[in-house]
């Protein structure tokens, strides 16, 4: 049997470099597929070699090749390094000019940086001696790899059977640019105009949606939602035309990494069969943050990017009422300035009840998950959401809005609390239901155990991806 060759194209992956959920998925799905399929899969991942990739990884990498990549009138250097992790080969494209920056995203020339990356992926395949059966590209930064392959390269005999899967992790970010850089930067041709044009602009996500063979997003509910104007950020007409190839597959998480039983970053380890240690984690966090060490006061937490679609407004409206109750509140996250200022003031105004940590730190986040009684995630939209699953692994009971992947993973009364309408009254009502339950120690403990035992592994979803790949015989 020859192994099915799959090339993941993405711009972040745990543990090398990550800013959010995409990095978690690219860091765990390939390994899950490999575990499922064994020798029937040859899975490789290709990423930019950012400056922030840790030195310990750099030392493990081997140089594979170097070449130059044509991008319009440019010829840019590309070095390729590789490292094997969990039976998956990770390639890194080295170009200091494009990737030796302080941040992954947010440079004035992101369009050019990721056009170069996408072009390099397609150009490099023969040099890596890896022409995949399937290119699986993720989000707008990798969209041009699909667009180039399908519109510029299929005449190359060796590429003519390569199929493409494009996954939307978040439709809020589409890669929209003016036509002034159509040829000069994106190296697109007049005949590509209809592929990438949307609303008079270049829209890279749209270009990948129309070009790919299969289109996925990260939960079944979100797959339905993005067909509607409320959630599509304007792309619903394009998705409607392409919905025959659209499907939603819920993400899993790496349940070995997020594991309260052996996580070295939390104060005391615990399991669903013996949750005693969790009380210690709560006490230590209270101590660390200068909150009163009250074992019986419910600790409500939020770990989030401070962006409006995460539902932060609901909290800003409801927080005074929330803090009038016997609760403690801890927030960890960075983001929009006005939210950061709001939460800084909140902890000043309620020093004995609220602590805001305007930063992001993985170890600290796990300490908070492990300490929390309740994890709040009232998103306005949520393609999948991983935090509600991670929280569950540490026995923090999720309260979520019924939307996107939150709807598909959290069900009241089984493993959390939910509310439908995006308003702070409904959120407070769900919080009150949780607090009532919390008051009954036995019932609460049973709930925490159920929450911890919910299966959020990749097992089911990796199979769904494997089935999808199988449709391209």
**CB 305, min distance to ligand GLC, A:** 9
User: Based on CB atoms, which residue is closest to ligand GLC, 15 or 79?
Assistant: 15
Euclidean distance between CA atoms 319 and 428, whole angstroms: 9
Fill in the per-residue mask, 9 to 28: x = in contact with ligand GLC (CB under 6 A), - = not in contact.
-----------xxx--x---
Helix or strand or coil: residue 340? helix
**CB 138, min distance to ligand GLC, A:** 8
Query: Phi-psi bin for 72: left (phi > 0), alpha (psi -120 to 50), beta?
Result: left
Tell me the residue number closest to ligand GLC, measured at CB: 21
User: Based on CB atoms, which residue is closest to ligand GLC, 18 or 95?
Assistant: 18
User: Based on CB atoms, which residue is closest to ligand GLC, 22 or 80?
Assistant: 22
User: Based on CB atoms, which residue is closest to ligand GLC, 22 or 122?
Assistant: 22
**CB 369, min distance to ligand GLC, A:** 16
Contact call for residue 385 and ligand GLC (CB under 6 A): yes
User: Based on CB atoms, which residue is closest to ligand GLC, 284 or 313?
Assistant: 313
Euclidean distance between CA atoms 72 and 76, whole angstroms: 10
Long-range Cβ pairs for the range 261-266 (8 Å, 24+): 263/366, 263/370, 263/394, 265/362, 265/363, 265/366, 265/367, 266/366, 266/367, 266/369, 266/370, 266/394
Contact call for residue 384 and ligand GLC (CB under 6 A): yes
User: Based on CB atoms, which residue is closest to ligand GLC, 251 or 418?
Assistant: 251
Contact call for residue 37 and ligand GLC (CB under 6 A): no
Helices 312-323 and 424-439 cross at an angle (nearest 10°) of 50
Helices and strands (DSSP H and E) totals, the chain: 19, 18
What sign results for the dihedral spanned by CA atoms 300, 307, 206, 162? negative
Distance, CA of 436 to chain centre: 33
Contact call for residue 383 and ligand GLC (CB under 6 A): yes
Euclidean distance between CA atoms 202 and 41, whole angstroms: 35
Of 128, 209, 354, 386, which one interacts with ligand GLC (CB under 6 A)?
A: 386
Contact call for residue 403 and ligand GLC (CB under 6 A): no
**CB 315, min distance to ligand GLC, A:** 18
Strand partners, 163: 134
**CB 385, min distance to ligand GLC, A:** 5
Q: Encoding tokens for residue 355? A: 């602590």
Is 188:212 a contact under the CB 8 Å cutoff?
Answer: no
Contact call for residue 218 and ligand GLC (CB under 6 A): yes
**CB 146, min distance to ligand GLC, A:** 17
User: Based on CB atoms, which residue is closest to ligand GLC, 191 or 455?
Assistant: 455
User: Based on CB atoms, which residue is closest to ligand GLC, 22 or 354?
Assistant: 22
Contact call for residue 32 and ligand GLC (CB under 6 A): no
């Amino acid at each position: 049997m020859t192994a099915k060759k799959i090339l993941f194209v993405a711009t972040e992956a745990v543990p090398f470099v990550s800013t959010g959920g995409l990095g978690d998925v690219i860091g765990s799905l390939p390994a899950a597929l490999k575990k499922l399929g064994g020798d029937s899969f040859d899975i490789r991942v290709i990423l930019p070699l950012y400056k922030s990739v840790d030195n310990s990884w750099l030392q493990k990498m081997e140089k594979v090749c170097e070449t130059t990549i044509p991008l319009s009138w440019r010829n840019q250097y590309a070095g390729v390094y590789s490292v094997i992790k969990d039976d998956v080969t990770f390639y890194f494209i080295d170009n200091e000019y494009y990737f030796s920056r302080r941040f992954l995203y947010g440079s004035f020339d992101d369009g050019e940086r990721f056009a170069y990356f996408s072009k390099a992926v397609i150009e490099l395949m023969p040099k890596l001696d890896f022409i995949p059966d399937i290119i699986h590209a993720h989000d707008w930064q990798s969209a041009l790899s699909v667009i180039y392959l399908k519109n510029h390269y299929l005449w190359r005999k060796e590429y003519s059977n390569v199929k493409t899967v494009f996954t939307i992790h978040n439709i809020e970010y589409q890669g929209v640019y003016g036509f002034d850089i159509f040829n000069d930067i994106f190296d697109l041709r007049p005949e590509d105009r209809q592929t990438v044009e949307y609303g008079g602009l270049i829209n890279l996500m749209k270009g990948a949606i129309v070009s790919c063979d299969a289109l996925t997003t990260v939960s079944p509910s979100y797959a339905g939602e993005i067909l509607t104007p409320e959630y599509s950020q304007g792309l619903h007409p394009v998705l409607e035309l392409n919905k025959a190839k659209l499907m939603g597959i819920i993400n899993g998480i790496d349940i070995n990494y997020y594991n309260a039983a052996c996580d070295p970053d939390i104060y005391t380890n615990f399991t669903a069969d013996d949750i005693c240690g969790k009380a210690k984690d709560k006490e230590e966090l209270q101590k660390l943050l200068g909150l009163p060490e009250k074992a019986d006061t419910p600790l409500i937490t939020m770990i989030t990017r401070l962006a409006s679609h995460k539902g932060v407004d609901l909290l800003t409206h409801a927080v005074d009422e929330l803090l009038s109750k016997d609760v403690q509140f801890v927030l960890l996250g960075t983001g929009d300035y006005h939210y950061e200022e709001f939460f800084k003031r909140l902890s000043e105004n309620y020093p004995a009840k609220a602590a805001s940590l305007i930063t992001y730190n993985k170890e600290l986040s796990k300490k908070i998950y492990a300490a929390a009684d309740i994890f709040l995630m009232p998103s306005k939209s949520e393609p999948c959401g991983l935090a509600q699953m991670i929280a569950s692994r540490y026995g923090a009971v999720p309260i979520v809005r019924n939307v996107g992947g939150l709807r598909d993973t959290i069900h009241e009364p089984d493993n959390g609390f939910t509310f439908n309408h995006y308003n702070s009254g409904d959120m407070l009502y769900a919080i009150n239901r949780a607090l009532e339950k919390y008051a009954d120690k036995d019932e609460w403990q049973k709930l925490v155990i159920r929450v911890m035992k919910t299966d959020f592994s990749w097992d089911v979803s990796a199979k769904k991806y494997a089935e999808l790949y199988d449709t391209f015989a």
